[in-house]
Structure 1
Amino acid sequence: MATKKFGLNTEPHEALVGAHRLLFKPEVLGTEFLDCYDRLQVTIRQLRSETDDPAETDTAAARQSTIATRIFLASLMLPESARQFVRWDVMVDGSTTSTYHDPEEAQQAAAEIPGAEVHDVGLQFPDRIFVDLTEWVAELYGGGRPPTSSGGSAPASPTPGRRGKGTSRSRA
């Protein structure tokens, strides 16, 4: 009888970004990671398709892409880290009336209050940090391979029959 032991991470993964310590979930179900990653990819594809000329840089789309990446990363963090990482305050006359972790919810709340504005008060980093964090969590939770690859796929079957010994005309 063969026995194989599998370990589970119980300690959070830690990312140090400057003076900030971000804690990520020790383990996530494969589907949880893939669902979060899929939502990110859908958002980015939608933003790209809204641009008439792909060569044209749309700053609003780039901004939305960064927000989508931040929300993706926060979804894999422990709650205390996620709360500081993504946060939008609804403010009236310099006072915070409410706080949201989704920018659309914050916009909806602000629309109901005369003179209200939404302020992004979450952590702000250069885009390269968001890219590096995204790649890092893909390694952590995606098994070290990009989420789009199928690690469980079988290799291609060999073609039936025997291989001929003739030379191909295309090689001649």
Structure 2
Amino acid sequence: MATATFAFNTEPHVATVGGTEFSFQPEVMGDEFMDAYEEFRDGQKEQTGVDVEDLDGADAQQLRKITRALRVFLARLMLPDDAEYFLRLNVIRDGETLESFGDREEAQAYAEEAGGGARVQDAFRCPDRILIQLLDWVVGLYSGGRRPPTSSTDSSTTRSRPGKRGTGTSRSRG
């Protein structure tokens, strides 16, 4: 008779980004993770018409919306204080923070009302490539390293190997 024991993670996962630590939930149940991922993916396709799995045709405004949605998705998996900071938007004018918001539309409306070159900026600024790396990291944490399927009928595609393809004949085709 075989016996196996499985343990739940009890300590938060920590991602350090540019010296700032963000704590993520120790465990996220599979259905909660999949719900959050599907809402992120499907919501962006609905709102922007862009598939987050294929960003080739997206324009700058669409990419801004996708970046914000990615932040919201990641924040759903963070501990509350870190999520609040990660999502906070500051209205900046002449290098000074005028006000902070959690909603982009509210922040944008305030910036327009404040005038004088006021603009909306993430409180925690980081390159988009870091957001993508965080996405890949949390997918690995909560889904066992497999990116969730985009639909039940999709199958993953294999990536080609780097380098030149061989020109020799395959022994299996012999």
TM-score between both structures, scaled by the size of structure 1: 0.68
State how far apart, in whole Å, the 2-side matches of 1:18 and 1:120 are: 17
* Paired position in structure 2 for 1:141: 142
Q: Give the letter aligned to residue 70 of structure 1.
A: R
Residues 56-65 or 116-125, more deviating? 116-125
State how far apart, in whole Å, the 2-side matches of 1:29 and 1:45 are: 25
- 1:85, CA displacement in angstroms? 0.9
- 1:69, CA displacement in angstroms? 0.7
Alignment of 1:92-103 (within 5 A): 96=98, 99-103=100-104
Q: Give the letter aligned to residue 36 of structure 1.
A: A
* Paired position in structure 1 for 2:35: 35
SS, match of residue 119 in structure 1:
strand
State how far apart, in whole Å, the 2-side matches of 1:63 and 1:149 are: 21
Change (3 A) 1:135 1:56: closer
Change (3 A) 1:5 1:36: same
* Paired position in structure 2 for 1:5: 5
State how far apart, in whole Å, the 2-side matches of 1:16 and 1:121 are: 17
The number of residues matched between the two structures is 145
State how far apart, in whole Å, the 2-side matches of 1:31 and 1:107 are: 34
State how far apart, in whole Å, the 2-side matches of 1:55 and 1:2 are: 49
Deviations 1:34-69 (A, max 9, x none): 1111111013323135xxxx9654110011111111
State how far apart, in whole Å, the 2-side matches of 1:91 and 1:125 are: 17
The answer as to whether partners of 1:16 and 1:22 remain within 8 angstroms in 2 is yes
- Give structure 1 stretches of 5+ with no counterpart: 151-170
- 1:4, CA displacement in angstroms? 2.0
Change (3 A) 1:136 1:3: same
* Paired position in structure 1 for 2:169: none
Q: Whose Rg is larger?
A: 1
Percent of pairs with identical residues: 41
Q: Give the letter aligned to residue 71 of structure 2.
A: R
The answer as to whether partners of 1:88 and 1:103 remain within 8 angstroms in 2 is yes
The answer as to whether partners of 1:27 and 1:141 remain within 8 angstroms in 2 is yes
Residues 119-128 or 57-66, more deviating? 119-128
Change (3 A) 1:57 1:138: closer
State how far apart, in whole Å, the 1-side matches of 2:41 and 2:101 are: 23
Q: Give the letter aligned to residue 60 of structure 2.
A: T
Alignment of 1:59-70 (within 5 A): 59-70=60-71
* Paired position in structure 2 for 1:162: none
Alignment of 1:1-172 (within 5 A): 2-46=2-46, 47-48=48-49, 57-89=58-90, 96=98, 99-104=100-105, 106=107, 110=110, 115=114, 119-148=120-149
The answer as to whether partners of 1:88 and 1:118 remain within 8 angstroms in 2 is no
Q: What's the RMSD between the two structures over aligned residues?
A: 3.3
State how far apart, in whole Å, the 2-side matches of 1:140 and 1:125 are: 21
